[in-house]
Amino acid sequence: MKGKEMSIVVELNDVHKSFGSNAVLKGVSFSVPKGQVVAIIGKSGSGKSTALRCIDRLEIIDKGHIEVCGHRVSDPGIELRRLRMDVGIVFQSYNLFPHLTVEQNVMLAPRAVKKKSKDEARELSHRTLSQVGLLDKAQAYPEQLSGGQQQRVAIARSLAMEPKVMLFDEVTSALDPQLTGEVLRVIEQLASEGMTMVLVTHEMEFAARVADTIIFMHEGKVWETGPGSMLKNPQTPELKEFMAYGL
Ligand code: ADP
Ligand code: MG
């Protein structure tokens, strides 16, 4: 570590965001050091997805500051292309192109955005497909794969852009329970390889095990934060209730 400035990959400082009269983020602050995993949990509607989307500037904040990999996301003059090269984001829906093979899906962004040669892009796709355990499916089409395999391809597609930080928004929520595990294992493997990540998840045991820091959001605020063990010993009535009843 070369000091704090160098080691913080994502920083939100007093972030506010409203949709019309609906104040969704009410002063959210947290930071993600390089190589660490932060998991965001909380009830539906508490602002988790909005917070994640603000990091990649898919939402523009009303007040506060966000800095990601040295990009000042909250500045109007931000170069979105460069920000998005450093940030990978994976959603619940994987949206692979059905008419392209798995390999072609993964090669697309490195070719189009990073101007990689075909050979370089193919090499990247093979490297990231093997990271998610699907190199043997490179020539398959998405419809030939299970939901869990398609989501792993979506993760490989994101990794092929060689991001400095990965954001995951409930990536297992659309999957049958038996397919959830294979996707979580890929994320856990990435964590052990030192990838910096922010995960929004409903998988509490997974969050407790894999995350360095858990953030419990409630009504647009960071309500409670701590290591994975905080889930066994919630301090606020709101987290206690969430742990007991969930959603
Ligand atoms: P979570 O991910 O914790 O379920 P969200 O961040 O998706 O919560 O949503 C928080 C609140 O913001 C909800 O009330 C939702 O309806 C509202 N919201 C989110 N995105 C939009 C949008 N694009 N336009 C209007 N309201 C939105
Ligand atoms: Mg959400």
Task: Write the CATH number for 190.
Answer: 3.40.50.300
Q: Is 20 within the bounds of a domain?
A: yes
3-state secondary structure the chain: CCCHHHHEEEEEEEEEEEECCEEEEEEEEEEEECCCEEEEECCCCCCHHHHHHHHCCCCCCCEEEEEECCEECCCCCCCHHHHHHHEEEECCCCCCCCCCCHHHHHHHHHHHCCCCCHHHHHHHHHHHHHHCCCHHHCCCCHHHCCHHHHHHHHHHHHHCCCCCEEEEECCCCCCCHHHHHHHHHHHHHHHHCCCEEEEECCCHHHHHHHCCEEEEEECCEEEEEECHHHHHCCCCHHHHHHHHHCC
Pocket mutation for ligand 1, best pick of 17, 19, 25 (most atoms within 8 Å of C-beta): 19
Domain boundaries, position 213: 8-96+165-246
Q: 22: pLDDT confidence band, cut at 50, 70 and 90?
A: very high
Token duo for residue 66 = 């966000």
Token duo for residue 99 = 């008419």
Question: Is residue 169 within 8 Å of residue 137, measured between CB atoms?
Answer: no
Neighbours of ion ligand 2 (CB under 5 A): 49
Q: Is 131 within the bounds of a domain?
A: no
Q: Is 186 within the bounds of a domain?
A: yes
Report the C-alpha gap between 7 and 169 in whole angstroms.
Answer: 23
Q: Is 129 within the bounds of a domain?
A: no
Ligand minimally distant from the alpha carbon of residue 46: 1
Instruction: List the one residue out of 8, 113, 31, 24 whose CA is nearest residue 60.
Output: 24
Give me the pLDDT at residue 1, please.
Answer: 46
Asked whether residue 5 carries a pLDDT value surpassing 60, the answer given is no
Q: What ipTM was estimated for this complex?
A: 0.98
pLDDT, tens only, 63-115: 999 999 999 999 989 999 999 999 999 999 989 999 999 999 999 999 999 99
Give me the pLDDT at residue 192, please.
Answer: 96
How do beta strands 63-68 and 8-19 pair?
antiparallel
What is the atom index within ligand 1 of the atom nearest the CA of 42?
3
Report the C-alpha gap between 71 and 11 in whole angstroms.
Answer: 10
What is the pLDDT averaged over residues 1-18? Answer: 81
What is the pLDDT averaged over residues 198-227? Answer: 97
Pocket (CB within 6 angstroms of ligand 1)? 19, 22, 24, 42, 44-50
Which of the two residues, 6 and 193, has the higher pLDDT score?
Answer: 193
Give me the pLDDT at residue 6, please.
Answer: 53
Pocket mutation for ligand 1, best pick of 12, 22, 26 (most atoms within 8 Å of C-beta): 22
Q: Is 106 within the bounds of a domain?
A: no
What is the pLDDT averaged over residues 175-182? Answer: 92
- Which residues contact residue 23 at a Cβ distance below 8 angstroms, ignoring those fewer than 6 apart? 16, 17, 220
Q: Is 126 within the bounds of a domain?
A: no
Give me the pLDDT at residue 246, please.
Answer: 74
Asked whether residue 181 carries a pLDDT value surpassing 90, the answer given is yes
Q: pTM score, two decimals?
A: 0.95
Give me the pLDDT at residue 167, please.
Answer: 98
Give me the pLDDT at residue 38, please.
Answer: 98
Q: Is 23 within the bounds of a domain?
A: yes
pLDDT, tens only, 146-160: 999 999 999 999 999
Q: Is 3 within the bounds of a domain?
A: no
Q: For the chain, how many structural domains are there in total?
A: 1
- Averaged confidence pLDDT in the chain: 95
